[in-house]
Structure 1
Amino acid sequence: MDKLTAITTFRHVAELGSFAAAARRMALSPAAISKNIRALEEHLGAQLINRTTRRMSLTEAGTAYHKSVVRVLDRLAVADQSVSEMKARPSGHLRVSAPLTFSLTQLTDRIPEFLAAYPDVTLDLSLEDRIVNIVEEGYDVAIRASARLEDSSLMAKKLMSMHHVVCAAPAYLAKHGTPESPTDLGGHEMVAFSLSTHSAEWPFTRGREAVRVPVQGRYKVSSSIAIKHALTGGFGIGIIPEIYVRDELKTGTLTRLLTDWQGPEHPVYAIYPERRFETAKLRAFLDWLGDVLREG
């Protein structure tokens, strides 16, 4: 038995929840995956995986063993890469998942700069607003704008914060009046971002005061750009990241409301598996992201 191969095989099976998926990831046959797992269990004298025709699960021993071998394998990978990449330029294929609107307004026009700076890196940038499973889907990093992160096993680097503002078109306010406090919003057409954690209620703070306003309106949409279009078209009042409407606020196309109240603020993170942190290509991309978003 090649113990390192067997342990690596067990890790992939445990994390992917499938012998077949592990076989695809390791470019081995399913029979070879099963053989490695059986050999490892015989070596340890303990069953690591419960197998049925429909599903598999880790035993208690398997769960404990997985936690231990992950730390060992990660440290070994870091040690290997620290030597091989000490003088190497960032290179290889980088898969990135990022929110659509955020990327189009803050990142994509700068991507050519990154690729020019690192000619040995190829980039696959997937623009989508769903939350991807980074490990299972094979992403190196995902950019997420969220007040909470769902998976504590992943590493997170904070890139910036997005402050939300309340605004509307002057034509809408001339017709329907200007709200003076958050509670006044209840009488207005409220345009909501359906993918947000505040799609049902808009939170506001002022000093020690905190108010949550139920969202009432006929229009919810999963794009901040669409919200901006509705607002500039005079449809209603919306809450939107300030960076998306900066120009409209400067020109007076939109009017900021409730300026003495603070709207929600969402941090933007780069999320990535811990074992990939030391790759030169990922380190270069994270550093570049930080620089670009600080400039913005």
Structure 2
Amino acid sequence: MSTRTKPQPLSDTEIRRIATEIDAGKPPMVWFTAAAVGVPEGRSGKVMSLGDPSEGDFLQVKPTGSKDVLSFGPTEVTLTKPGRPTPAKPTGTTPKTATRKESTVSMPSPVTTPAAPSTPAAPAAPAVSSTSATPQAKPETSQPAAESAEAKANKPAASRPARNAANAAAAKKPKAAEVTVTLSGTAEGEWTLDVVNGKKRTIKGLPVASSAVAQAAKILHPEFAEVVDSIHESVRAAQQAKVAQLQAELESARRLLEDLA
């Protein structure tokens, strides 16, 4: 009777190898073991990303021929490609025939003895029944432990399809584009606006009035309004000085014109 060996989990070296190939842009190929839930044993797939190992099912694998990315544990996949099964050779036939021949040779000795129908044959039966009763009691006592082990194994399997469906839905959900708004000001009180939607610049160098900037700053945040007010105050002072200078030059020009007249 052949027994199936329990699949060995991926080693730390194999997990580091998978992470290196993912970083290089080459998702590694893996094959599903008998412990995989929802996927036949021997089917191939590609590891698209790695999650937190503390979660258990941290390998995000895309099975071959499927569009969904599902979660699996380190015992459910392997980097070793399974080989083709070979028919088992009929071993052990010669020892069986040899034992049968020995048993047939030893048979005549109890037949020829005259004490075969003696009474000691009766107690031999209960001796056999007593020994056969003890192994029957052991499977009954171990049955709850086997059932509890099966129940524990089925609990994460029942929740895994829901988690895989959630991961597939999150992967298909489109990501919202990021919008960047930049407001630039000069010492002369000139303001311009730039808007970048995702990777595309939709607005570039749009002139904005100083009064509109001051009003928006008061609505957005007090600290922002304080910064804008200080800039406007310095620009206002510079413009007043410039006006006074121009007025003085104008008066000087008028006096010179009157003298010439």
Q: TM-score with structure 1 length normalisation?
A: 0.17
Task: Give the number of the structure whose residues are more often helix, by fraction.
Answer: 2
Report the TM-score, using the length of structure 2 for normalisation.
0.19
Which is greater in Rg?
2
The structure that is strand-richer by fraction is 1
Bigger relative contact order, structure 1 or 2 (CA pairs below 8 A, ≥6 apart): 1
